[in-house]
Chains A and B, each alone.
Chain A
Amino acid sequence: MFTWVLHRVTGVALFFYLFAHVLDTSLVVVNPALYDGVLEVYHHPLIKLMEIGLVVAVIYHAVNGIRVTLVDFWSKGSPRNRMMMRVQHVVFAVLTLGAVIPMGAQLALEISERF
C-alpha cells in the first residue's frame, strides 16, 4: 500500500515541479540575463536541498513504475512481485546513493562558499 501511496505522492509532486520547470526554462526566450539570474537563485543551498529531494522522487517514481509495468505486461511478473519488490528496494538505494552523493557534495560546496 505504502508503495502505491508513495507513487502517487511523488507523481503529484513531479507534476507541479514540471509546471514550474517549464515556466523557468521559458525565460530563455524572454531575456537571457533574466534566465541566468533565476538560475543563480537556484544555487541557494535550500533550493539545492530541494533538488536532491526532486531527484530522489524521480528515482522512486521511475523504479516503482518499472515494476508496475513489468507486473502488468509480463506473465511471470505477478507471481514474482515479492522478489521484484526486494530488487526494487536495492535498485532504489543504489541509484539514490549514486545521485545524493555527488549532489550532496555540490551542496556542501555551496554552503561552504556562502557561510
Chain B
Amino acid sequence: MSTETNWDALQAAEKLNQPETQAERRAPARQRTSSNVELYSWIYMRVSGILLVLLIFGHLIVMHLLEGGVSRVNFAFVAGRWAGPFWQTWDWAILFLASIHGANGMRIVITDYIRAPQARFWAKMLLYTATVFMLLLGTLTIVTFDPGAALPRF
C-alpha cells in the first residue's frame, strides 16, 4: 500500500542524522538535557479528552435531556445530586480534567498567536492564575457544599 510508512528506510535515514556531533558532546551538561513535558501534555490531551467525552456527555444528558431539562436545575436539584459521593466525584473529575485540558489548549493557542515575548509571558501567567483559581474555587464548592443550607434557620 502506498500509504504504509517504510519504517526501515526511515530508521536508516535517522541513523545518518545522529545529533551527537562533537560540538554537542563538548556542550555543558545543562544544554544536553531535554524534557518530555510537551510529549506528556500531548498524551494528556488525548487521554483526558476521551474521559471528558464520557463525563461531559453524561453531564449534558442529565442536565438537558432528562425530565424537564435545565429549567428544573436549582439549589434543591443540586443538593439531591451532591448528597452522595458518586455525582460529587463525577463533577469534580470534570472540573479537574477539563481545567487542565482547557488550560493546556489555551497555552498552545497563546504560544501560537502572541508573538511578543513579554505579552506572551503575561498572557500565560494570567491563564495559569485563572486555571488555579477555577480549580480551587470548584474544589471548595464541592467539598464545602451543605445540602441543608437552604433550610430556614431563623
Contacts and interface: CB of A to CB of B under 8 A. Distances in A.
Interface string B25-59: 00000000000000000000010011011001100
Contact of B102 (A18, A65, A79, A99): A18
Contacts of B145: 28-29
B98 A18 contact: yes
A29 B140 contact: yes
B50 to A, nearest CB: 6
Interface stretch (B9-17, B103-111, B114-122): B103-111
Interface residues of B, number: 38
Q: Is the interface of A mostly helix, strand, loop or mixed?
A: helix
23 contacts: A8-B105, A11-B105, A12-B105, A15-B106, A18-B99, A19-B134, A22-B95, A22-B137, A22-B141, A25-B78, A28-B141, A29-B140, A29-B145, A36-B74, A39-B73, A51-B70, A58-B56, A69-B49, A72-B46, A99-B60, A99-B64, A102-B65, A110-B71
Contacts of A3: none
Given A14-B102, A33-B75, A78-B3, 4 more contacts: A11-B109, A29-B144, A39-B74, A102-B69
Interface of A: 8, 11-12, 14-15, 18-19, 22-23, 25-26, 28-29, 32-33, 35-36, 39, 42-43, 51, 55, 58, 62, 65-66, 68-69, 72-73, 78-79, 99, 102-103, 106, 110
A55 B134 contact: no
Interface of B: 1, 3, 46, 49-50, 52-53, 56-57, 60, 64-65, 69-71, 73-75, 78, 95, 98-99, 102-103, 105-106, 109, 130, 134, 137-138, 140-141, 144-146, 149-150
A103 B71 CA distance: 11
A45 B122 CA distance: 37
B138 A22 contact: yes
Given A22-B137, A62-B53, A69-B49, A28 B64 contact: no
A26 B144 CA distance: 10
Contacts of B49: 62, 65-66, 69
